[in-house]
Amino acid sequence: MALHVRQGDLVQVIAGNDRGKTGRVLKVIPDEGRVIVEGVNVRQRHVRPSQKNPQGGRISREMSIHISNVQPISPSTGKPTRVRFDRRDDGSKVRVAVRGGDELSVLKKAKK
């Protein structure tokens, strides 16, 4: 099943502690149905000293949130929108914003 958000999309959080925040999708985890959004659900991780981080200490990291709690932002309206999937004449599949009708991205190219 195609997901309504992809890596690099600008999304808004619609539920949870970070409701109303916007950010770019850094990573999509389709097996778990989760996404990592820049600046959302930031938690402190305690790390031991290592070669990479000789001092150790606490680092801030974005943790994942459920994919149903985010909506992509429509380019024309600047508001969160639902997503519809359409087929083009050449057979490719496209994500389309319900609000505004903008094309978000091509998902699958047509086979030749």
How many independent structural domains does the chain possess?
A: 1
Q: Is residue 95 within 8 Å of residue 105, measured between CB atoms? A: yes
| pLDDT score for 104 | 85
- Residue 2 belongs to a domain: no
d(CA 40, CA 24): 10
In a domain, 30, yes or no: yes
Decide if 45 contacts 27 (C-beta within 8 A): no
Domain at 19, CATH number: 2.30.30.30
Residue-range definition of the domain harbouring residue 86: 10-108
In a domain, 4, yes or no: no
Give me 96's structure tokens: 């389309």
**88 assigned to some structural domain:** yes
Mean pLDDT by 10 residues, the chain (112 residues): 86 95 95 95 94 92 95 91 90 88 74 60
- Residue 110 confidence (pLDDT): 57
The whole-number pLDDT of residue 107 equals 67
Within-domain flag for 24 = yes
Nearest CA among 6, 49, 42 for reference residue 25: 6
